[in-house]
Amino acid sequence: MERKIHASEYGICFWSMGTFTSFLKNGKIRSKKLLALFQKDRTTYLKLVENGIWIPLPQIDFEDYCIKIKDLGEEFDDRWEKVLEYDGFNLEITDGMWISGLGSFLKFDEASYQGEGNEYTSDFGMKYFDSNKERWQTTLNGYKIYRDVHVDIPSGKYLLNIKGYARKEMIDVRVDKDAVNYGYQLELVKTDGFEGSPNPREDEYDFNIGGIIRARK
Q: What is the pLDDT of residue 1?
A: 56
Q: What is the pLDDT of residue 137?
A: 96
Q: How far apart are the first and last CA of the chain?
A: 32
Cβ atoms of residues 97 and 134 within 8 Å = no
Kindly give, in sequence order, each residue whose CB lies less than 8 Å from that of residue 152, ignoring residues fewer than 6 positions away. 96
CA 120/CA 103 separation, integer angstroms: 19
Q: Phi/psi zone of residue 18: left (φ > 0), alpha (ψ -120 to 50 degrees), beta?
A: alpha
Kindly give, in sequence order, each residue whose CB lies less than 8 Å from that of residue 200, ignoring residues fewer than 6 positions away. 49, 55, 56, 57, 58, 86, 89, 207
Cβ atoms of residues 34 and 54 within 8 Å = no
Q: Give pTM, 2 decimals.
A: 0.96
Q: What is the pLDDT of residue 11?
A: 98
Q: What is the pLDDT of residue 178?
A: 85
CA 147/CA 196 separation, integer angstroms: 30
8 half-sphere exposure, CB direction, 13 A CA radius? 19
Q: What is the pLDDT of residue 66?
A: 98
Residue ranges in the chain modelled with pLDDT below 70: 1
Kindly give, in sequence order, each residue whose CB lies less than 8 Å from that of residue 166, ignoring residues fewer than 6 positions away. 80, 81, 83, 181, 182, 183, 209, 210, 212, 213
- In tens, the pLDDT along 171-212 reads 998 888 889 999 999 999 999 999 989 999 999 999 999 999
For every residue of 175-212, DSSP letters joined together read T-TT---EEEEEEEEE-SS------TTSTT----HHHH
177 half-sphere exposure, CB direction, 13 A CA radius? 7
